[in-house]
Amino acid sequence: MRESADVSVIAGVTTSTTAFVGRAERGPVNVATEIRSFAEYTALFGGLAMLSPMSFSVSHYFANGGQTAVIVRVVHADSAASAEVMAASTGSTGGSDGGPIEDADVDDAAGRAGKRGMYALEDCDLFNLLVIPPYDMTTDVGVATWASAAAYCRSRRAFLIVDPPLASFTPPATAASSGLAALTAALPPSSPDAQHAAFFLPALRATNPLTNLPDTFAPSGAIAGVFARTDATRGVWKAAAGLEAGITGVLGLAYRLTEADSATLNRLGANALRTFDAAGTVIWGARTLQGEDTLVSDYKYIPVRRLALYLEESVIRGTQWALFEPNDEPLWAQIRLVVGGFMEDLFRQGAFRGTSSRDAYFVTCDRETTTQADVESGVVNILIGFAPSKPAEFVVIPIRRTARRPDA
């Protein structure tokens, strides 16, 4: 094998850096700003504010195990104060916050090229989860914006956590009134973008530190925190659901869902939050929006989708050394060796199902994956397969009891 740089190890990328897009009291506008604590958020963006659901969402994220966040502060493009806000974005908590924001401010018409709203994340090298809290206490994120956000996550190899609409912060009578029907009309489960999003309900109840009274909050920030905590303790391949997936710092939920409610939501591709007397409030579902039972999808489950994103991002970044190497068998063999070593390490950590490496994964990079036409075009193709460990949503235990015979 030809001499080359040290390419013996692929370093796995981060899995739970969470991007938040929304309204804040102050701070840089349309700038992706990385923070590592809520104290940093307070210093840069003004801390908790009644008109900023994002501020509470970020607080819940760090309280539940989040480590790194990327904040994009958005202001209303037509606000009379917006020019002043942008000119002095870190101005005093007595200044204007730019006023209410709306869908057009988050899902900017210029798209990725405009680098405004969520597309300010174009200047962020990597984020894994995306949270867009309600715009204020009365204004939801529109379903068309959720669809755009899922498409953007697909393009960035990231995952979107979708909140229930504000109207469903009280008990819904049907699945339609939970907001799920409207969401899936805009983001159909058959769309590949639906693999990159998950819907959770109901809302959380927690003490509002600004009033010291119970209040209702969108759950996405806390859920992202639990994802981050689970990634750190168990791995991205473990579903952040079940009794281990407790949401801390909350009083409970806006309303309680039953086991039957949870099963119905799962079958429709949505996820319940549940409260149990012994365990508290937990995440009780792990399905993507492509997870409804009528579909057959490789990415029905959140941890399977997120693990695949992790593998893809890590391998792409970890094989940059292959650029400009001669595109032939020695290169392909070296890629197989390096990527295979990465997959073997994950297998030993329990990322894949199977009792042996052969059963758990494969890595192919040869003349079958890379044709002569590919070689002439400067393309090398790597094919990776893995056997995912899927969540056990339902455990069926057949029970047979004996009874006294009538003649006994």
Residues 353 and 278 in one domain: no
Pair 206, 283 in one domain? yes
| Residue-level pLDDT at 402 | 44
CATH code, 27 = 3.40.50.11780
* Cis-peptide into 53, omega within 30 deg: no
Residues 70, 127: Cα–Cα separation, whole Å: 8
Identity at 145, one-letter amino acid code: T
Would residue 189 count as lying in a domain? yes
User: Do both 197 and 108 map to the same domain?
Assistant: yes
Amino acid identity of residue 293, one-letter, is D
Q: Do residues 117 and 105 touch, judged by C-beta distance below 8 A?
A: yes
Domain, as residue range, for 298: 18-303
Residue 293 shares a structural domain with residue 324: no
Q: Are residues 67 and 135 in the same domain?
A: yes
For residue 61, give the amino acid letter.
Y
Structural domains in the chain (count)? 2
- The per-residue pLDDT string of the chain (408 residues; one tens digit each, 9 = 90 and over) reads 444 445 678 999 999 999 999 999 999 999 999 999 999 999 999 999 999 999 999 999 999 999 999 999 999 987 545 555 554 454 447 446 788 999 999 999 999 999 999 999 999 999 999 999 999 988 999 999 999 999 999 999 999 999 999 877 666 555 555 789 999 999 999 999 999 999 999 999 999 999 999 999 999 999 999 999 999 999 999 999 999 999 999 999 999 888 888 998 999 999 999 999 989 999 999 999 999 999 999 999 999 999 999 999 999 999 999 988 999 999 999 999 999 999 999 999 999 999 999 999 999 999 999 999 989 998 999 999 999 998 876 656 666 554 445 555
Residue 215 included in any domain: yes
Q: How far apart are CA 145 and CA 183, in angstroms?
A: 10
Last residue of a domain, one of 303, 332, 359: 303
List the beta bridge partners of residue 213: 208
Same domain for 298 and 336? no
d(CA 101, CA 185) in angstroms, rounded, equals 24
Are residue 385 and residue 237 in the same domain, yes or no? Answer: no
Examine residue 4 and state whether it is found in any structural domain, yes or no: no
Model pLDDT, residue 93: 72
Check whether residue 297 and residue 323 sit in a common domain: no
Last residue of a domain, one of 238, 271, 303: 303
Give residue for tokens 């498409």. 151
Residue 66 falls within a domain, yes or no? yes
Same domain, 375 and 264: no
Per the domain annotation, does 256 fall within a domain? yes
Query: Could you tell me if 339 and 215 lie in one domain?
Result: no
Among 303, 330, 361, residue at a domain's last position: 303
Does one domain contain both 343 and 267? Answer: no
**pLDDT of 166:** 85
pTM for this prediction:
0.92
What's the rounded Cα separation, in Å, for the pair 346 and 95? Answer: 50
- For residue 142, being part of any structural domain is answered with yes
CA dist 233 and 16 (Å) reads 12
pLDDT at res. 167: 78
* Domain co-membership, 201 together with 345: no
C-beta atoms surrounding 289 within 10 Å:
29
- Amino acid in position 384: I
